[in-house]
Amino acid sequence: MFETPFTIVGNIITNPVRLRFGDQELYKFRVASNSRRRMPDGTWESGNSLYVTVNCWGNLATGASASLMKGDAVVVTGHIYTSEYDDKEGVRRSSVEVRATAVGPDLSRCTAKVAPLPRPTAPMPDPEPGDAEHDEETGVDEGDLALSA
């Protein structure tokens, strides 16, 4: 499959939607990117606009849903594609979408405090009686504690 890498800098313009498909989580929102240029007299003139739907899956959906909301300035990187669908009247339509690989705040327009996603921890196996080490400070063998529990 041909994938086109893409980065957009803009603002989230819709209230994000969080959906679940089986064991997969999707966090979906629209981003608007507007170009502006400074005119010789110092004023700003609006240029073209681009609107895309951003789809965040898996861990990215978890992180984005905990961090981002409507109005936030973001940088989105992913793969751009055209999604085609039939509207309520049966008319064929298309939409520009991005399957995001990374999303974050645009730090040129906001500040952020970073916190890593919690990592799932595997349960510790019970020690075997012959594998315990002797604790010099307490004088207790870990194996004795495991056997008495």
What CATH code is carried by the domain that includes residue 67?
2.40.50.140
d(CA 110, CA 107): 5
Structure pTM?
Answer: 0.72
In a domain, 146, yes or no: no
In a domain, 90, yes or no: yes
In a domain, 115, yes or no: no
| Phi and psi at residue 108, to the nearest 5° | -80, -10
How many domains does the chain fold into?
A: 1
Whether 14 and 27 have beta carbons less than 8 Å apart is answered as no
Domain boundaries, position 68: 4-110
In a domain, 136, yes or no: no
In a domain, 27, yes or no: yes
Q: What is the pLDDT of residues 45-85, one digit of tens each?
A: 988 999 999 999 999 999 999 999 999 999 999 999 999 99
Among 26, 87, 80, which residue's Cα sits nearest to residue 51?
A: 80
In a domain, 8, yes or no: yes
What does the pLDDT profile of the chain (149 residues) look like in tens digits? 567 899 999 999 999 999 999 999 999 999 999 988 889 999 989 889 999 999 999 999 999 999 999 999 999 999 999 999 999 999 999 999 999 999 999 999 989 888 887 776 666 555 555 544 444 444 444 444 444 43
Strand 92-105 to 73-86 pairing: antiparallel
**pLDDT score at 145:** 42
**pLDDT score at 112:** 86
Amino acid identity of residue 146, one-letter, is A
Structure tokens at 96: 């520009």
In a domain, 71, yes or no: yes
In a domain, 127, yes or no: no
Calculate the CA 7 to chain-centre distance: 14
